[in-house]
Structures are given as C-alpha cells and as structure tokens.
Amino acid sequence: MTMPTGPSRTRMDDLTVERVLRVVEAIPPGQVAAYGEIGAIVDVGPRLVGRILRTWGSGVPWWRVTNASGDHPLLARALPHWEAEGIEVAPHGRGCRMARFGTDLAQLRVRARPALAELAGA
C-alpha cells in the first residue's frame, strides 16, 4: 500500500473529518479495516484517522476499525459489537485476524465512493 505524503496526511479540517467518518460507515458489518487503510482512501495518515475517531467517531461503527494487526485499543467496548456481527477474537486476545475479518480495500473504496462524491459536490 502506498502511503500519501505531504500536508494532507496531517490536516484535520471539517471535510477531512467527514471523509474519514463516511469511509468508516462504509465498512460492512462483520468486517474490519485498519486505520492505515482508511487513511489511504482519504489521503491522511493512520494516526489522524485514530484521532478523528477518538474525537468524532461515536456515531459511526468505530469498532470496525483496528490497527494493521487486527488489534483494537478498546476491545472490551468493541466486543459486544463484534459478537453481534460475528467477528471473533483471535487466540492472542487483543483483536481479530485480519486475514479472516479484514475488508477488501478495493471493495471498501467502491462502497465509500458515493458518500465521498456527495462531499465533493457540496
């Protein structure tokens, strides 16, 4: 995965926040995406994705966003959602197996495209 470079990776404005939240909304139930995968779609870094979710993510399925290894920093809070969606905790107990529950990045881009296009036209 090629990571974007330049000022857009760290810029947090209203449009960037909304773009991140809309990509998170596009992650299907029962699947997860890594901070960096979301960042690659929106052209920001994974830490900014995490900061946006920590600050404004309560209204979106935040439990579907993990680190690149599938670990979740708030696993205890995410667990009821994961159980309801069929996401299983990996044997190490810190998150899920990305190979099994990670969403396909190309498909996530396609699913997010209509919501992101609405923002471009605003």
Half-sphere exposure of 66 (CA within 13 A, CB side): 26
Tell me the two tokens of residue 4.
Answer: 């974007």
3-state secondary structure of 68: coil
Half-sphere exposure of 21 (CA within 13 A, CB side): 17
Q: Is the dihedral of CA 107, 2, 20, 16 positive or negative?
A: negative
| 3-class SS string, 69-113 | CCECCCHHHHHHHHHHHCCCCCCCCCECCHHHHECCHHHHHHHHH
The pLDDT of residue 1 is above 50? no
pTM: 0.89
Predicted confidence (pLDDT) per residue in 65-107, tens digit = 999 999 999 999 999 999 999 999 999 999 999 999 999 999 9
In this structure, are residues 20 and 26 in contact, taking their beta carbons and an 8 Å threshold? no
* pLDDT classification of 3: cutoffs 50, 70, 90: very low
90: number of Cβ within 10 Å = 15
**Domains along the chain?**
10-120 (1.10.10.10)
